[in-house]
Amino acid sequence: MKIAMWSGPRNLSTAMMYAFAARGDCAVWDEPFYAAYLAATGIDHPMRAEVLSENVSNPAEIAARCAGANPGGQPHFYQKHMALHMVDGLPLDWAEGCVNVHLIRHPARVVASYAAKREHPTLADIGYTQHANLFARFPGPVIDATDIRADPATMLQRLCAEIGLPFTPAMLSWPAGPKPYDGTWAPHWYGAIHRSTGFSGAESPLPELPADMQALADEAHPFYQDLARHKLRPPPGSP
């Protein structure tokens, strides 16, 4: 099985990659198209030079690897994709052979977390419009980061059942520290997840944002709501 997990930044996406890697039967690839996105757009991101020098930036080569044999002969291949990376001109046909899953998070939480790592984010930076377009082309299960953090075992069991993958409790924990499959950009973005050994627990109330950041969250919110209408629901009585 090939799993294309689509999300935006600061969406619990790295924790989900760690969870699937912890299964033992999944190869994982951290943001395959990041270097291609930077090369195509010229956008300035933290560690841009390192990302471009240490990763494949040829879109056709990346697509072929996404669609090709699972690395290491593993039964499953989990690909952590950022919706915002799939700019015009980058191939998408490879995703037709994947089980497409969509990970979402309330935009107020995303904006607060993203702005702490990179100043002055825009709607394009947080990926909600791009994600809505990808969901229209590649529909699949939608799961909300807030629901996962409230009850990781139940929500991961639900997701696994939805995609036809046996659940294992091994998905609920991982060793602290950097991982060999982390992307080049991990030193800038992954500090908190490297200190973790599992999902962090239920999220706090929505953050209060300054006016400009609140405006960005409000702009993204309709796209989040459209995706959230399809999300897997926690069972009654769950946290």
| Contact in structure between 159 and 233 (CB atoms under 8 Å) | no
What digits encode the pLDDT tens for the residues 176-190?
999 999 999 999 989
pLDDT at 119: 80
Q: Give residue 115's pLDDT.
A: 86
Q: Which domains does the chain possess?
A: 2-228 (3.40.50.300)
Say which DSSP state 205 is in.
S
Q: State the angle between helix axes of 34-41 and 59-67 in degrees (0 to 180), rounded to the nearest 10.
A: 160
> What region, left, alpha or beta, does residue 74 occupy, with left being phi > 0 and alpha being psi -120 to 50 degrees?
beta
pLDDT of 124-164, one tens digit each?
999 999 999 999 999 999 999 999 999 999 999 999 999 99
pLDDT classification of 114: cutoffs 50, 70, 90: confident
Mean pLDDT within 75-102: 98
